[in-house]
Chain A
Amino acid sequence: MKQVEIDSEGKVTMGPGTLYGSLKRMLEAGLVRESDKRVDPEMDDERRIYYQITGMGTEALAAELERYQHIVTIAQQRKLFPKTFSL
Chain B
Amino acid sequence: MNEKTTAHALYRKLLTLYPRNFKEQFSESMEQTFNDLYNEQKRQADRGFFSFMFRIFVETALGIIKENILLLAQGNVMKNILTNLRSPSIISFILVFPFMFLELANRRNFHEGFPIALFGLMWLLPVVFILILMPMSRSLRTGNSIITNPIILLIRVVFLALIAWMWLGLLIDQMPCFLGVPNCD
Contacts and interface: CB of A to CB of B under 8 A. Distances in A.
B65 to A, nearest CB: 9
B36 to A, nearest CB: 9
Contacts of B26: 20, 23-24
A24 B34 contact: no
Main secondary structure of the interface of B (DSSP, over half): helix
B111 to A, nearest CB: 61
B32 A17 contact: no
Interface in B8-52: 22, 25-26, 28-30, 32-34, 37
A17 B28 CA distance: 13
A18 B26 CA distance: 12
A15 interface: yes
Interface residues of B, number: 20
Closest 4 CB pairs of A and B: A17-B63, A15-B59, A17-B60, A20-B26
29 contacts: A1-B33, A13-B55, A15-B55, A15-B59, A15-B60, A16-B33, A16-B37, A16-B60, A16-B63, A17-B59, A17-B60, A17-B64, A17-B66, A18-B59, A18-B63, A20-B22, A20-B26, A20-B29, A20-B33, A20-B63, A21-B63, A21-B66, A23-B26, A24-B25, A24-B26, A24-B67, A48-B29, A48-B32, A49-B29
